[in-house]
Amino acid sequence: MASSALCTGKSARLNKYKLGCLSLMIALSTGCFQQASAELPQGFDDFVNKVLKEYNTPGAAVAVVEGDKVYVRGYGVRSVDKPGAVDPDTLFMLASNTKPFTAALLAIMVDQHKIGWNDHVIDYMPQFVLHDRYATRMCTAKDLLAHRTGLPEFFGDGLEGVGYDRNEVMRRLKYIEPACSFRETANYSNPGFFAAGMLAGVLAGDSWDNLIKKKLFEPLSMTRSGVTVKDHDRDSNVADAHESLPQGGSKVVPWDTSDVFGPAGSINSTAKDMTRWMQLQLNEGSIDGHQIISPESMREMHTTAMVDKPGFGDMAPIDEKTTGLCYGLGWGIYHYKGHEIFEKTGARTGMRSSVVLIPDKKIGITVLANQNLTVVPEAIRAYLIDKMVAPASTDWQAEINKKNTVIQKMFNNPAPPPKPTTSPTLPLEGYAGEYQNDLFGQVKISVDSGKLRWQAGPKKVSGPITHVQYDTFQLAWPPGPITLPEEVTFTLGTDGHPSQLQTVSFGLLKRVSQ
């Protein structure tokens, strides 16, 4: 700390002890835990409270690291259903901010000479098989972490959703048809990161879950962080997940059960713990004088491995013309007014997270929010980049607000199914039967109370199917992850009976029985 560095000997230790006690008392009384406090822009608290209200978000926790200085504070409430303020120790789901942890775990494996970044995965994990033989043979750890395997973007998550376990998900990866050639295009893939986590487990002879705790949480003193949804039940200082209501307000929803795809999104943590994670990233893999990850491996994770372009979820200051966007290993990378910035966001049912690193400024920002579809994390990190890194040339908050309007309309007020102008070609019973493919197995279509329903997977997950026109219907998933209804089309054979059906999530399913 800067304050204790001025003292020596017994006096230094005594003053450090007194300062520590004073900081702890301040933290307990105000809900703000501070090391040597980073200086945040004047009016920051007012800004955070304003955006929480503007974007209908119950609460958020913010952590800022600036060199060896730290600022951590909670805002708002943990739940709309019961009292309790968000504080630095409140537990949130990190969602996809798990991915940089998985990358860091593999970096440790590289440092321990258990694997090289460019070694072929199948040489260490023979059960790793992709649909494309060339990709299977040539895929490396770096390919998995940079989203360049050819696996389709945002596809395959349904394997966990319908109840397959990790071994079965690994076995079924070979049935996911690629969206492009190997290393042709960046496609954000949760199954790819799932495989990366399983690779770390094979290399170390332990589970990904245990390795994250032993290799990262313990040396970083991230004492409240965990790797499973079950952490929700371990104490009372936990943020509830919330779903925004179209008419305003929020309702509590269950924490997302994302443990099977853990390496892609199951870590939960606190703002205080995340200061340690950001310090590790900004200090080239070192913390408290201990080298957890080598500087060489840190640089590899923070180096562009695959060019991408900003997508629907990327918000100001990110844009295609001025900042660009690439993938490092677990991180998105862009450039803003001469500063290289690493950023990762995460979203699960009822929560959002954002972690931003500006290495040349030694600044790190984490925002955790307990609401789905909220842009609060992006609004706060944009405000801090504007004030602490370089002034914005445009009104970022206005741009983020416009993006929020589009998101809310799309997810909170989706267009209802078009009113059918035709009748189904067949009686509903004619579409009923069992359909299957190699990836998802069997999907059962049945008639219940005069309506079609689907059911799939070991969990027997089910949902309604609503008629749209002729042999086209709309399939809806049960409440949970943010998933829009999707079109399902039945194809009739020459005998007049359905021979197959096609959906976005399940792909092509062939009918195997009536």
pLDDT tens-place string over residues 286-301: 999 999 999 999 999 9
Selected residue with higher pLDDT from 413 and 302: 302
Q: Identify the band that residue 427 occupies on the pLDDT scale cut at 50, 70 and 90.
A: very high
For the chain, which residues make up each domain, given as ranges?
A: 1-30, 31-106+200-411, 428-513
Task: Determine the average pLDDT of the residues in 435-456.
Answer: 97
**Mean of per-residue pLDDT scores for the chain:** 91
Q: What is the pLDDT of residue 421?
A: 84
State yes or no: pLDDT of 480 exceeds 70: no
Q: 476 — phi, psi (to 5°)? A: -120, 140
CA–CA separation, 285 and 292 (whole Å): 6
Q: Identify the band that residue 35 occupies on the pLDDT scale cut at 50, 70 and 90.
A: low
Q: What is the pLDDT of residue 412?
A: 75
Contact 370, 239 (CB under 8 A): yes
Selected residue with higher pLDDT from 268 and 257: 268
Distances in Å between the alpha carbon of 417 and those of 243, 438, 496? Answer: 22, 30, 26
Q: What is the pLDDT of residue 424?
A: 97
Contacts of 447 (CB under 8 A, 6+ apart): 428, 429, 432, 453
3-class SS string, 300-328? HHCCCCEEECCCCCCCCCCCCCCCCEEEC
Task: Determine the average pLDDT of the residues in 86-90.
Answer: 98
CA–CA separation, 168 and 499 (whole Å): 27
Q: What is the pLDDT of residue 15?
A: 39
Q: What is the pLDDT of residue 176?
A: 98
Q: What is the pLDDT of residue 415?
A: 67
Q: What is the pLDDT of residue 235?
A: 86
CA–CA separation, 110 and 8 (whole Å): 40
CA–CA separation, 371 and 392 (whole Å): 27
Collapsing DSSP states into helix, strand and coil, what is residue 70? Answer: strand
Nearest CA to 513 out of 455, 445, 440 is that of: 445
CA–CA separation, 170 and 153 (whole Å): 17
State yes or no: pLDDT of 18 exceeds 80: no
Task: Determine the average pLDDT of the residues in 324-333.
Answer: 98
State yes or no: pLDDT of 309 exceeds 90: yes
Q: What is the pLDDT of residue 481?
A: 53
Q: Could you give the percent of the chain with pLDDT greater than 70?
A: 91
Strand runs labelled E in 46-131:
59-66, 69-76, 92-93
154 CB burial (10 A radius; 0-12, 13-18, 19+): exposed
Q: What is the pLDDT of residue 312?
A: 87
Q: Identify the band that residue 414 occupies on the pLDDT scale cut at 50, 70 and 90.
A: low
> Which residues share a beta bridge with 344?
355
Q: Which fold has domain 31-106+200-411?
A: Beta-lactamase (3.40.710)
460 CB burial (10 A radius; 0-12, 13-18, 19+): exposed
Contacts of 30 (CB under 8 A, 6+ apart): none
Whether CATH 2.40.128.600 fits 428-513: yes
Contacts of 512 (CB under 8 A, 6+ apart): 433, 434, 435, 436, 442
Contact 488, 472 (CB under 8 A): yes
CA–CA separation, 300 and 317 (whole Å): 24
State yes or no: pLDDT of 23 exceeds 70: no
Contact 198, 125 (CB under 8 A): yes
Q: What is the pLDDT of residue 3?
A: 35
Q: What is the pLDDT of residue 240?
A: 97
Nearest CA to 159 out of 260, 263, 265 is that of: 260
State yes or no: pLDDT of 4 exceeds 90: no
State yes or no: pLDDT of 112 exceeds 90: yes
pLDDT tens-place string over residues 214-226: 999 999 999 999 9
At 23, which amino acid appears? S
State yes or no: pLDDT of 31 exceeds 50: no
Lowest mean pLDDT among 166-170, 232-236, 333-337, 450-454: 232-236
